[in-house]
A and B are shown apart, each in its own frame.
Chain A
Amino acid sequence: MQFENWRDEELIRQAIAEEISAAEARLEGLEKRVIQAIATRDLARSAWKRWIRSVLSPRASALRFAYVLGALLLFVGIGILIGRFSFAPKPLPALAQEGTVFALAAPGAHKVEIVGDFSAWKPIPLVDPDGDGVWTLILKLPPGRYEYAFLVDDRWVGQDPNADEYVRTMGDYTSVRYIGGGSS
């Protein structure tokens, strides 16, 4: 029985030795080939993917965290700048250089118009593109004194809070704006 076990072990050992000697040619340079394959795969991946991979890697250090924070702040900063110059409404003095600003807060109104002696009292519509209830219009007017009123859903609103003065005509108020520098 012992003799048979010894023979089996010998056969197994011989088979392994044959396997090793047969694979020796293929194992030669394996490590180098693996390193090359990994390097080639990393190069093929886009730069930003490699950056994200390195940042998300559990080996990310405190330095990498600071790097991410900096990038995030830069991103938010650019966003604020774009918003400030592109989307935010211009301040009134800047708009006033393009013309005279007429604005009225009329939340819930369906239609706001302005009528005045500058248009022979024909209505000109105001707009509220962002739907915040503030209706605006810029009119290019030569220097002078202008009487006007708003029509909010066809209802006369003669007292504009931004008017220079008010006059009473035919039983109701009318707003007045003075355009131009004056006293020159």
Chain B
Amino acid sequence: MRKALFVAALALFMGLSASAQVSLVVPQSQVAPEEVLRWLRQSALPAQEKAIWLRILPQAFEKDLVEPGIAQSFFQRLVGTPPSFISEITAIMEELILKGIPTDHLMNKVSQGVIMGRNWSMITNEIRLRAAVLVATEEALKPYKPAAEAKAAVSVRVGSFTIQAETPTWEDLVVEVAEAISDFIVGGGDLNDWIGIEAFVRSRLMQLRGRGLSPGLVDRALEVLNPELVGVIVSQAFQIERR
């Protein structure tokens, strides 16, 4: 009997030891849109900006332009920041949402800037730049958008967490192209180097082909992408005269 107990205790110890070596985490818990709106109503954001967000956010959630978990984190960081910053960031996001452009990644950039300890002026400058490139990219790629597109969402539930895995859309592709251009420029690249930017975007899209973006979408984008198109985007975003 004592021997059996010892063996059982040893097996339990070994099992616990092995499992304690690593921890498995599912990063984001699912936040309901209503939860974010409720939180926003009670938040200490300036009244004017709060009214704007409460007007545009329900639509943004409905059209999948904003993910509730990202929005909640963004608003939590926005509270207590200088009113001028809140006002400018709200104006940028409002413009994008009204144009039907996803803003998740820009909200995330704000959160990133805060956790990096950057000042508000630096964060605002980068968000302004990325938003300008995004709007220009959306307009430049609009003629090439496929006619019909079905969006499907699959929820993967692990324990108490839910991950929403959605079929990538043309809007997601636009965001990735715009972000690649912005990364090139923010990283110190020359915004007149259209060939360099095009190569950088092409490489990014190839990496995302089949993991984040569907191969069909990527192939379509690679077909139309060229330095001239990049020139159109950059010129429009930075309002510079095209060569």
Contact = CB atoms under 8 A, between A and B. Distances in A.
Interface of A: 82, 86-87, 89-90, 95, 98-99, 101, 115-124, 127, 129-130, 136-145, 147, 151, 156, 164, 167-172, 174, 178-184
A143 B211 contact: yes
Given A120-B69, A120-B108, A183 B25 contact: no
Contact of B17 (A87, A120, A122, A169): A87
16 contacts: A95-B22, A101-B22, A117-B108, A122-B73, A137-B25, A138-B24, A139-B26, A140-B25, A140-B158, A143-B212, A145-B208, A151-B115, A169-B126, A178-B211, A182-B207, A182-B210
**Residue from B23, B176, B215 with most neighbouring chain A CB atoms (10 Å):** B23
For chain A, what secondary structure do more than half of its interface residues adopt (helix, strand, loop), or is it mixed?
mixed
A118 B163 CA distance: 10
Contacts of B188: 168
B215 A156 contact: no
A108 to B, nearest CB: 20
B213 to A, nearest CB: 9
A120 B26 contact: no
Interface of B: 14-15, 17-18, 20-28, 69-70, 72-74, 105, 107-109, 111-118, 122-123, 126, 156, 158, 163, 165, 176, 183, 186-188, 204, 206-212, 215
Given A120-B69, A170-B112, A129 B186 contact: no
A143 B156 CA distance: 12
Nearest to A142: B165
A181 B25 contact: no
Contact of B187 (A117, A156, A167, A178): A167
Contacts, number: 138
A145 B212 contact: yes
Contacts of A89: 21-22
B19 to A, nearest CB: 10
Contacts of B23: 127, 136-138
Given A120-B70, A167-B187, A169-B126, A183 B28 contact: no
Given A120-B74, A156-B116, A136 B22 contact: yes
Contact of A184 (B18, B74, B113, B210): B210
A169 B109 contact: yes
B27 A139 contact: yes
A124 B28 CA distance: 10
Given A86-B18, A117-B105, A122-B73, A138 B207 contact: no
Contact of B112 (A99, A117, A137, A179): A117
Given A156-B116, A170-B126, A183-B206, A127 B17 contact: no
B32 to A, nearest CB: 15
Contacts of A147: 112
